Amino acid sequence: MTMNRRRFITAIGTAGATLAAPSLSFAQKADDPLRLGLLTAKTGPLASGGLDMERGLRIYLGEKGQKLGGRKVELFVADTGGIPSAARTKTQELVERERVQVLMGPLAAFEALATDDYMRARKIPVFPVAAAEDMTQRKANPWLFRTNSTSAQCAHAAADYCAKTLKYKRMILIADDIAYGHEMTAGFQRVFEEAGGKVVQKLFSPLTVPDYGTFLAQLHREADAIFLGFAGSNGFRFVRQFNEYGLRGKINLVGGMTALDEAVLRNMGDEALGILSVNWYSAELDNPVNKSFVSEFRKAHNYDPGFYAASTHVSAAVLDSALASLAGKPFDRELLRDALRKANVPTARGPVKFDTYGNVVGNVYIRRVERKDGRLINNVIETYPDVSQFWRYEPAQFLANPVYSREWPPAKNLVA
């Protein structure tokens, strides 16, 4: 099913009276537990990533004795099923019934768009995994702190690498037909074409498409490579069918930040070897925080953490640091927000700091699938340091344009 952003936001507009309700407040003592909510997808097509979100967070809490900033944590987990209406309902339940004070999640961009107005009205500090662009751009939520990236943040770097290092001239973009896929491929197209390349084909498949055969049959065989903008397990399914159709070696594949996530890479075989992808994280990163995280995660789950697990682990590290600066004081969301804005924290992904819009500025990595100790890994082969959501554009110039979408930037080089 195609999710149209404007139609969706219009549809939820009738909830305005509820969303505009004032923030709930409760008397707090300095030693009261932090009530932390996790909004994730444990069922449906996004479940592989959603389950890893919970696992990554629980690993961090376990490492810290179930405390953040020295404060005991009570965790409340809600399953959205990857459905926007369910995400909104579950958010309200977490805030109004469970009285959570900080939220992590949701996973999908269309879920984040469904809950954004509610979060703003309730003044809930939120660490989304969803990459929806405008929530830290033209419609920045002052209570939102994104520690992973926008949809296009990593795609900008991937496009630069494809054009300047790999010397690709003609590329195909294929992605899930949701806001995340639209925004990611739009950002890739912009940077790739400004670097002299041409996007000759754009394809968008339904999130729950049963088979990619019709899309594989449409591929222009003269392109140098295909950029994959898939979420959940869809990247794994596409690559497998791509190989079954005999296309391996005939056209190169480059994965977006979740197309070859470790959560699905563990189910793949030699068909994935050699494929490049881009992400702000890899389980192979050589820093003390990540080494501990990967060791504990692998011990608990018998595979490496990826994008989704690292998202909540990194968010927990940032929240931990901010809460530590408020030790001895009752929970105060305004003080917490101020502390988060000043964050510069070592995490599993590397250092994390925020721009003035609440979005992370941090490293982005080009990775290649290799085999190590009998398992597939994403080995880092290139690092882009301190990447902003605005890439190398001036923020004012970037924000003067429309949000990335299926229509913007316009595709001028498509081959019929």
CATH 3.40.50.2300 residue window(s) in the chain: 5-150+286-361, 153-285+363-400
pLDDT for residue 14 = 38
φ/ψ region of 366 (left if φ > 0, alpha if ψ in -120 to 50, else beta) reads beta
**The pLDDT of residue 231:** 87
CA dihedral 175, 390, 5, 77 (to 10 degrees): 80
Q: Which range, of 7-21, 56-70, 378-392, averages the lowest pLDDT? A: 7-21
Q: Read off the pLDDT of each residue in 332-349 and give the average, rounded to a whole number.
A: 96
Look at 34-48, 308-322, 395-409 and tell me which has the smallest mean pLDDT. Answer: 34-48
CATH 3.40.50.2300, applies to 5-150+286-361: yes
How many CB atoms neighbour CB 412 within 10 A? 9
Q: Which two tokens stand for residue 113?
A: 């768009």
Report residue 242 as tokens. 């791509």
pLDDT reading at 6 higher than 90:
no
* pLDDT of res. 27: 53
Distance from C-alpha of 111 to C-alpha of 123, rounded to nearest angstrom: 18
Pairing of strands 225-229, 71-79: unpaired
In a 13 Å sphere around the CA of 27, the CA atoms on its Cβ side amount to 0
Say yes or no to pLDDT of 22 above 60. Answer: no
Q: Is the pLDDT of residue 128 over 50?
A: yes
DSSP string for 371-400: EETTEEEEEEEEEEEEE-TTTTS-HHHHHH
| Selection from 386, 390, 347, 393 nearest residue 363 by Cα | 386
| CATH architecture assignment, domain 153-285+363-400 | 3-Layer(aba) Sandwich (3.40)
Q: What angle do CA 409, 7, 401 make, to 5 degrees?
A: 25
Give the residue-averaged pLDDT of 191-220: 96
Q: What is the sign, positive or negative, of the torsion defined by CA atoms of 218, 223, 228, 229?
A: negative
pLDDT the model gives residue 10: 40
Residue 232 or residue 22, greater confidence: 232
Residue in 131, 39, 133 with CA at minimum distance from that of residue 86: 39
Per-residue confidence (pLDDT) for residue 46, from 0 to 100: 86
Cis peptide before 142 (omega within 30 of 0): no
pLDDT at 28: 67
DSSP string, 297-309: HHHHHSS---HHH
Q: Write down the pTM of the prediction.
A: 0.91
Of 185, 377, 401, nearest to 283 (Cα)?
377
Task: Tell me: pLDDT of 13 over 60.
Answer: no
Is a pLDDT exceeding 80 seen at residue 256?
yes
Q: What pLDDT does residue 20 have?
A: 40
Of 17-26, 168-177, 206-215, the range with the highest mean pLDDT is: 168-177
Q: What is the DSSP string of 71-136?
A: EEEEEEEEE-TT-HHHHHHHHHHHHHTS--SEEE--SSHHHHHHHHHHHHHHT--EE-----GGGG
Residue 8: is its pLDDT beyond 80? Answer: no
- Per-residue tokens: 54: 């919970």
